[in-house]
Amino acid sequence: MPVYEYEHTEGSCEQGMVFEVRQSLDDKPLSPADALSLRVMRWDCEIKKQGLQNPIATVASPMYDIPNIVLMPVAQIASFNLFFGQLASGSSIQPFATVTDYDNWLRRVDGYIAWLDTAIANMQIGMEQGVVWPKVLVERSIAQLDDIITDDIGEHLYFRPVLQMPATFSAADRERLTAAYTRFGPPQTPMRRNMGISMSSQNR
């Protein structure tokens, strides 16, 4: 069986974990299956190398292995804000079974808030450069953002884990977590509206 070695491509370490595939021959020819696997790995690595040099999109995204559209971060399909909403609902792969799970999610939300700021700034750059989605996609993306903007915390998507909080939690933990998750409503609403305004600007 051939041995495959993975090496960092020159200059890629600062931009991401992109590897070059090299084969160490062991005096045995490649089987058709191994030859195909090697071709696929080389092709995949080459696509990622090219993606790092693309000013609009980097490849690969941590999610789904698809392009991360830097200047158009909000989209109708496969957009990070949609994926994050699925996690926040409490009905996806993000666990909400223990107090630690709930505390971990609060830290993840802090990172997401930073992403929102970055997304808005990048969209502004994209608009200045004329790098925007087609109008119909922008309109649909705005509608998706509107769906999760509400001043009623009890109806907020991110508050659902509180409504589903395990009965085994202590009264003190329930009170603390409820107060912490309440900030997902009005405190975040202006930021989400700003993102909607940025998207609307692309629609002009």
Residue 185 has pLDDT above 70, yes or no: no
Q: State what percent of residues in the chain have pLDDT above 70.
A: 66
Can you say whether the dihedral through the CA atoms of 54, 60, 64, 70 is positive or negative? negative
- Interval 171-177 mean pLDDT: 96
* pLDDT at residue 61, rounded to an integer: 46
* pLDDT at residue 14, rounded to an integer: 45
- Interval 28-45 mean pLDDT: 80
Report whether 35 contacts 86 (CB < 8 A).
no
Residue 6 has pLDDT above 80, yes or no: no
Q: Quick one: pLDDT band at residue 130, thresholds 50, 70, 90?
A: confident
- Interval 97-105 mean pLDDT: 95
**Structural domain includes residue 36:** yes
Phi, psi of 23 (to 5 degrees): -105, 130
Distance, in Å, from the CA atom of 80 to the CA atom of 77, rounded to the nearest integer, reads: 9
Query: What's the domain count of the chain?
Result: 2
78 plus 165 within the same structural domain: yes
Residue 85 has pLDDT above 90, yes or no: no
* pLDDT at residue 81, rounded to an integer: 83
163 plus 76 within the same structural domain: yes
**Structural domain includes residue 58:** no
126 plus 32 within the same structural domain: no
Residue 50 has pLDDT above 90, yes or no: no
Tell me the residue range of the domain where 25 lies: 3-53
